[in-house]
Chain A
Amino acid sequence: MKPGVVAICAVAACLACLPARAEEAIKIGLITARSGAFALYATSAEKGEILAAEEINKGGGVGGRKIEFLTGDSKSSPEEASRLYREFSAKNVALIIGNVGSAETAAISALAREARIPTFATVGYARSLTEELGHDYFFRPIVNSRAFARPLAERLAKQTYKTYCTINNDYTLGHDVNDDFLRALKKLRPDATVLPGCEFWVPLTTTDFTSYITAILSKRPDAVVFSGLVGPSGRAFISQAKSFGLFKMTAGAHASIGWPGNNDGLRKQDVPENLVTATDYPYPPLKTPSNVKFFDAFKARWSELPLSEGAYGYATVHFVAKVFEKDGNENAADFVKTAASVTYDHPAAGPLKFRPFDNQVNMGVWIGRLAWDAQDDRPGMEDIEYVSGDTYLPGKDEVESLRKDKGK
């Protein structure tokens, strides 16, 4: 181990709380993409985790023992994430949390299978992580990418929309999200069609959509679905479409532009009239006691608003503390057995459960319309309804058959 390669620090080493105890702290490794493509999401998750650990330590710790984090920056690279994973497992951490994207999560999950250390992922939502690639030691406390298809299709199928246009970034996730959505829509609404010549694929960095928008305008579809337009492309499309009045004529739908990390930077005047979307952490924040408590604490601690990942990180650390408390030890095999019997208390979605056969939490999404949240001065949603994870997650048999096919 090279000293100094990565800053290892006891972030949550309690400052103003317990008198020092003889017992050793419980060590948890945090692998966070502090730089690179996932930095925005990952750092919010880490802030949620630190906040939760501070709360636990202040309240007396886990059976009197404090939680201590070892942290490292994965730089959004799977190689670096793997290196940190090995480093932390050599230091005998009780558990590892990966605040990293899907590719990095897949890399550390493969290591977790060998190392037999319970490992949580707060940012990677690729479906396969808990399905084909899943195993006993990998836990996903966040939604699965299936949440992008079915809930949106259900909401749109209830409307009178029959003719659709689609526009997405031309890359794997863009195609997957689009195909999954159209498959789900066709099942619910066999009469729905994508208009001929109205399926557009644009390169990832595209920000000039003028010609696409005028083409869509001239085709006059009932709805335009663009769930696979991500990052700058998604925001640019929305603001340009609004300036052409596209959403006055046609409904818009995007499966994840309601996610606070995805609409960060969207301005008030860009929020269109009629854009159906979903979120896994709604703004304005829900007024439930658990959410108000989390939201206020996060804002006070970090002087910024939590993203979905902030809520996940917070709930994850509280959850693992409850499991350790119940077991009375940090034995990994005990942890895996106990996990399904302890509730995962998501601040906004309430008590949830990890499904014992795939360790995927049954988290759902809120579906509604994109709107401006004046009280927090950021984009938010209105007219929302909660769609439970149980409605779109695969059943036990499906997960088992996916894993078996993978093994062949």
Chain B
Amino acid sequence: MLITLQIVSALVTAGILFMQAAGLTLIFGVSRVLNLAHGSLFMLALFMSYAVSMQVISGPAGFWIALLVVPLAMAAIGVVVEVLLFRRIYQASILVQVLLTIGIIYVVGDLVRLGWGLTSKSVPTPDLFGAPIQLMGIFIPAYYAFVLAVSAAVAALLWFIVQKTTWGLLIRAAAQDRTMSSALGVNPSLLFTSVFGLSMWLVGVAAVLYAPIGGASPGSDVESMIEAFAVVVIGGLGSIWGAIAAALMIGFIKAFGILVLPQYAMSFVFVLMAVILVIRPRGLFGAAE
């Protein structure tokens, strides 16, 4: 029972981590911009899902409408941010990119403060998932099983998009060699904008699913940024498979580290990160420069 329970909790942690980090790695893979404001956009999406499911529509339908609306709104925000800001800095030095994304962190932080104040908000679990369900001989909250299923579905959807569609082919081509792909007639602006939109859609899905678990709090930007970066560094910048593998590793290290040496559990993830950086600096699945 002990082991099964810990496996389930590892998978749930991994599912949420993967959805948080997938967008970050996609954007980097295609545009080579490290979006430090990723966590802030995740926080914004958390508060948006609170707003939709609690303030605009308070009722059992709120969660489902948020699940539909918030990711689309985030995708729209992503498109606007890409066109207005990111598009100008793809050729700029890394320092300019860092400055811009740090600027976004402050702007989003203040927007959230203006809109929802300083206290953290909680979001109810949808009624449908009120009772626990039995899985592999143990009881787990039905909502966690739902999160697990959705994150698996999102991973499959991403795999399908990247591997089986023309769009995915272009994403892979641009990730491999940006100059060559534009020389062959790929419109980079359109591709970058659409990838940014897709990434923010993923952030939106992750946030709506996470809100009933962790709530929306003004400090969640930092926490989620650190975790998403750990996933991306371990998995390799730009690699979807890396993000899946790293999220699973972190989930299992956290869940079982807690059992073995609870007082050091938090540092295990960063120890793993350091080890990976020493022996394989580009991450598990990262492309060699």
In the complex, the chain A residue whose C-beta lies closest to that of B223 is: A205
In the complex where A198-B262, A208-B13, A208-B213 touch, is A265 in contact with B121 (Cβ < 8 A)?
yes
CB pair A210–B120 under 8 Å, yes or no, is no
Taken residue by residue from 196 to 211, chain A's Cβ proximity to chain B (1 for < 8 Å, 0 otherwise) reads as 0111111111111011
CB pair B266–A203 under 8 Å, yes or no, is yes
In the complex where A213-B9, A214-B255, A243-B143 touch, is A207 in contact with B214 (Cβ < 8 A)?
yes
Q: Which residues of B contact A211 (CB under 8 A)?
A: 6, 9-10, 13, 251, 254-255, 258
Asked whether any CB of chain B lies closer than 8 Å to the CB of A269, the reply is yes
CB pair A245–B265 under 8 Å, yes or no, is no
Taken residue by residue from 101 to 135, chain B's Cβ proximity to chain A (1 for < 8 Å, 0 otherwise) reads as 00000000000000000111110110000001000
Q: Which residues of A contact B144 (CB under 8 A)?
A: 210, 243
- A67 CB to closest chain B CB, in angstroms? 29
CB pair B120–A231 under 8 Å, yes or no, is yes
CB pair A269–B124 under 8 Å, yes or no, is yes
- A214 CB to closest chain B CB, in angstroms? 4
Q: Which residues of A contact B217 (CB under 8 A)?
A: 205, 207, 231-232
**A-side interface size class:** 35 or more
In the complex, the chain B residue whose C-beta lies closest to that of A237 is: B214
A244→B118 CA distance, assembly (Å) = 28
A174→B176 CA distance, assembly (Å) = 48
Asked whether any CB of chain A lies closer than 8 Å to the CB of B60, the reply is no
CB pair B6–A218 under 8 Å, yes or no, is yes
Asked whether any CB of chain B lies closer than 8 Å to the CB of A318, the reply is no
Asked whether any CB of chain B lies closer than 8 Å to the CB of A156, the reply is no
Pick the contact of B265 from A200, A205, A213 — CB < 8 Å? A200
In the complex, the chain B residue whose C-beta lies closest to that of A208 is: B214
In the complex where A40-B119, A265-B122 touch, is A236 in contact with B214 (Cβ < 8 A)?
yes
CB pair B141–A243 under 8 Å, yes or no, is yes
CB pair B223–A207 under 8 Å, yes or no, is yes
Asked whether any CB of chain A lies closer than 8 Å to the CB of B219, the reply is yes
In the complex, the chain B residue whose C-beta lies closest to that of A203 is: B266
In the complex, the chain B residue whose C-beta lies closest to that of A244 is: B141
Q: Which residues of A contact B140 (CB under 8 A)?
A: 244
CB pair B223–A206 under 8 Å, yes or no, is yes
Taken residue by residue from 131 to 173, chain A's Cβ proximity to chain B (1 for < 8 Å, 0 otherwise) reads as 0000000000000000000000000000000000000001000
Asked whether any CB of chain A lies closer than 8 Å to the CB of B2, the reply is yes
Asked whether any CB of chain A lies closer than 8 Å to the CB of B168, the reply is no
Taken residue by residue from 204 to 237, chain B's Cβ proximity to chain A (1 for < 8 Å, 0 otherwise) reads as 0000001001110101101100000000000000
Asked whether any CB of chain A lies closer than 8 Å to the CB of B51, the reply is no
Q: Which residues of A contact B214 (CB under 8 A)?
A: 207-208, 232, 236
Asked whether any CB of chain B lies closer than 8 Å to the CB of A77, the reply is no
In the complex, the chain A residue whose C-beta lies closest to that of B214 is: A207
Pick the contact of A265 from B6, B8, B13, B120 — CB < 8 Å? B120
CB pair A236–B215 under 8 Å, yes or no, is yes
- A193 CB to closest chain B CB, in angstroms? 15
In the complex, the chain A residue whose C-beta lies closest to that of B127 is: A269
Q: Which residues of A contact B223 (CB under 8 A)?
A: 203, 205-207
CB pair B125–A212 under 8 Å, yes or no, is no
Q: Which residues of A contact B122 (CB under 8 A)?
A: 235-236, 239, 265-267, 270
CB pair B262–A35 under 8 Å, yes or no, is no
Asked whether any CB of chain A lies closer than 8 Å to the CB of B279, the reply is no
- A150 CB to closest chain B CB, in angstroms? 26
Q: Which residues of B contact A207 (CB under 8 A)?
A: 213-215, 217, 220, 223
A200→B8 CA distance, assembly (Å) = 20
Best-surrounded residue of A40, A210, A236, A266 (most CB of chain B within 10 A): A210
Taken residue by residue from 209 to 234, chain A's Cβ proximity to chain B (1 for < 8 Å, 0 otherwise) reads as 01111110110000000000001100
Q: Which residues of B contact A198 (CB under 8 A)?
A: 262
Asked whether any CB of chain A lies closer than 8 Å to the CB of B195, the reply is no
CB proximity to B under 8 Å, residues A263-305: 264-267, 269-270
Q: Which residues of B contact A240 (CB under 8 A)?
A: 213
In the complex, the chain B residue whose C-beta lies closest to that of A217 is: B5
- A98 CB to closest chain B CB, in angstroms? 19
Pick the contact of A236 from B13, B132, B213 — CB < 8 Å? B213
CB pair B119–A265 under 8 Å, yes or no, is yes
- B23 CB to closest chain A CB, in angstroms? 18
Asked whether any CB of chain B lies closer than 8 Å to the CB of A39, the reply is yes
A204→B222 CA distance, assembly (Å) = 11
CB proximity to A under 8 Å, residues B15-56: 16
Q: Which residues of B contact A206 (CB under 8 A)?
A: 223
Asked whether any CB of chain A lies closer than 8 Å to the CB of B166, the reply is no
In the complex, the chain B residue whose C-beta lies closest to that of A264 is: B119
A204→B220 CA distance, assembly (Å) = 10
In the complex where A207-B215, A214-B8, A232-B217 touch, is A202 in contact with B266 (Cβ < 8 A)?
yes
- A40 CB to closest chain B CB, in angstroms? 6
A37→B219 CA distance, assembly (Å) = 11
Asked whether any CB of chain A lies closer than 8 Å to the CB of B85, the reply is no
In the complex where A217-B5, A270-B122 touch, is A205 in contact with B258 (Cβ < 8 A)?
no
Pick the contact of B258 from A37, A208, A212 — CB < 8 Å? A212
Pick the contact of B118 from A35, A170, A214 — CB < 8 Å? A35
Asked whether any CB of chain A lies closer than 8 Å to the CB of B93, the reply is no
Pick the contact of B215 from A35, A37, A203, A232 — CB < 8 Å? A232
Q: Which residues of A contact B143 (CB under 8 A)?
A: 243
A145→B214 CA distance, assembly (Å) = 27
Asked whether any CB of chain A lies closer than 8 Å to the CB of B92, the reply is no
- A338 CB to closest chain B CB, in angstroms? 38
Q: Which residues of B contact A231 (CB under 8 A)?
A: 120, 217, 219
- B15 CB to closest chain A CB, in angstroms? 10
16 residue pairs from A and B, CB less than 8 Å apart: A197-B259, A197-B260, A198-B262, A199-B263, A200-B265, A207-B220, A208-B210, A211-B6, A211-B10, A211-B255, A211-B258, A215-B259, A215-B262, A232-B215, A236-B214, A243-B144
Given contact pairs A200-B258, A218-B2, enumerate 20 new A-B contacts (beta carbons under 8 Å).
A37-B118, A200-B265, A203-B223, A206-B223, A207-B217, A207-B220, A208-B16, A208-B210, A208-B214, A210-B12, A210-B144, A211-B6, A215-B259, A218-B1, A232-B120, A232-B217, A239-B122, A245-B132, A267-B122, A267-B124
Nearest 6 interchain pairs by C-beta: A207-B214, A232-B217, A243-B141, A218-B2, A232-B120, A211-B255
